Structure 1
Amino acid sequence: MELTTVWFALIAVLWVGYFTLEGFDFGVGMLLPVLARDDTERRVLYNTIGPVWDGNEVWLLVAGGATFAAFPNWYATLFSGFYLPLLLILLALIVRNLAFEYRHKRDSDAWRRGWDTALIVGSFVPALLWGVAFANLVAGVPIDRHQNYTGSLFTLLNPFGLLGGVVTLLLFVTHGAMFTALKTDGDIRHRARALAVRTGVVAAVAAVAFLAWTQLRTGTAGSAVVFVVAALALLAALAAAAAGREGWAFTGTFVTIGLAVVGLFLALFPDVMPSSISVAYSLTTSNASATPYTLTVMTWVAVIFTPLVLLYQAWSYWVFRRRIAVHHIPAAA
């Protein structure tokens, strides 16, 4: 197997890690005004993702860095063409992350409400725009023979792209509700589980429509199989949630999101950024890649350090595995 194919697969794995882990982060943030009835319950939700959110975002940093090093032409065209959506995502992530650090710094209801709003908006914007970006990436965008993006922001806001954004938004909300039901106890746990079933039904309808549309446009036999299994995993997750099996329910949404990302990358391969102007102008794993020497060095680095990162993150989740309830939250200082 060529190293370009290996690194395309590794980048796909990094995005799987980011969306499956950061996805429930976004979901919990968006559900803050829905699930929490008072400040103590809001603090419960903050504490469910407080120990892990920053580690989850590392997957995004590594995915961006790996794309820059392994496929520099892909990185250049993607970040110049999708500049405004990616800038909005970056700003939303910055504001969102500040909410974790600054919400408790002042004893003021207005102060806390402001940072709660930052968390909600900072979770909503990336959840929507990542779906829009990936849908357009798979469907193809106007790229000329010089590998330059020739469209605008409104080019990306097409029906297929917007449906992709709605799907990621709904899946992350459902994923976040499943995680909340898994990590909390008491009334908030039961409300989260019930909400996960309701939002999951809507997410399932939207996801099936989007994945079927993707398959008809650019799909392969491999992506078709993966999409079907992803849909079945989501249905199994909803059944598990309805039965009160929160661990299996969360596993189901985790698998659903992961397989959906895998299917999108299978539908994309061997392109990394197809051109809607001409197939000849598309960026592929061959014409967008770095030199073989660069890919060889990167491969050895990945072989050495990736297991260490996975072990550390697994250990952190194990340490913070216990459920959180209202009675665990101390009185505000």
Structure 2
Amino acid sequence: MQTTGYAAQSADSPLKPYSYDCRSLRDEDVAIEILYSGVCHSDLHTARNDWGWTVYPTVPGHEIVGRVIEVGSKVSKYKVGDHVAVGCMVDSCQECQHCHSGEEQFCEEGMTQTYNSPDRITQEITKGGYAKHVVVREEFVLEVPASLDLAKVAPLLCAGITTYSPLRTWDVGPGSKVGVVGMGGLGHMAVKLAVAMGAHVTVLSRSEGKRQDAMDLNADAFLISSDSDAMAQAANHFDLIIDTVPVKHDVTPYFPLLKVDGTIALVGQVGPMAELNSVPMLLGRRRLAGSIIGGIKETQEMLDFCGRFNILPEVEMIKMEQINEAFERLEKADVHYRFVIDMQASNF
């Protein structure tokens, strides 16, 4: 099936229309007409080859909502016309211990990412959601709760599950005290989800600028991390801090804020970290952990949770042909809080 997307041809070139063939439908595959595609900071990093592993041409996009248009002969869960979603993975070995335990993101053979990743069978490089169509293995297609506004669902497939997973891993619930560092696409979802779980939620920011936004999202408190007195008063307070900052930064100042056995979960930064001071870690048996998306079972659980509580990201709708401008704004953190591409309104 031929389709059209927007691709980067090099690290310094703008995204432009690009025609290519989706893979032929296998017996267990679902073909999807893409209706909405979220714009993730990872898309920008990949297009610019910031991480050094981009294969060009690359069609980004791993926050996909669409309509089923064809299914393979062995597909039993979905039918033509169903509204479905696809996140950051489209395949895994399905045989290793992690796949069997529902954590395909840790597949021992390596998950197949939605874009910029070799297909498990053909080795062709996958193309993502900045396109009209995508073909995905049935096990990696997700159901969209009917109660949710379809146009706003896409960012849940990355920003949603990326913040939901550590909240579940560290058993956040009523009585938990959660800090959220950074109030961008990931951070605002962490706040919404933690509040819905019953936690006491504090947003940490370097200045007053995000205070009203935090309160609008129903955060319980706001802590200015550049205020040494306020930071000292908040010592030994949090069970979990979710750090969503996407650039290199010092996490040491946040450790004294944790209770004994508290955790900082890094979900934003990829790559070398600033030098750490181990003293506040040792003195409180505190830990620094990483977390990356979630398995398919947990992602469906997250979607269903959002469906029950009507949790959706704050989004700005754009057309596909506005993606380069959106990337420039994303680089400046000039979005409140996530871009979503409306494919039906786009002309390409």
**TM score, norm. by length of structure 1:** 0.24
Higher relative contact order (CA 8 A, sep 6+): 1
Identify, as 1 or 2, the structure richer in strand: 2
**TM score, norm. by length of structure 2:** 0.23
Identify, as 1 or 2, the structure richer in helix: 1
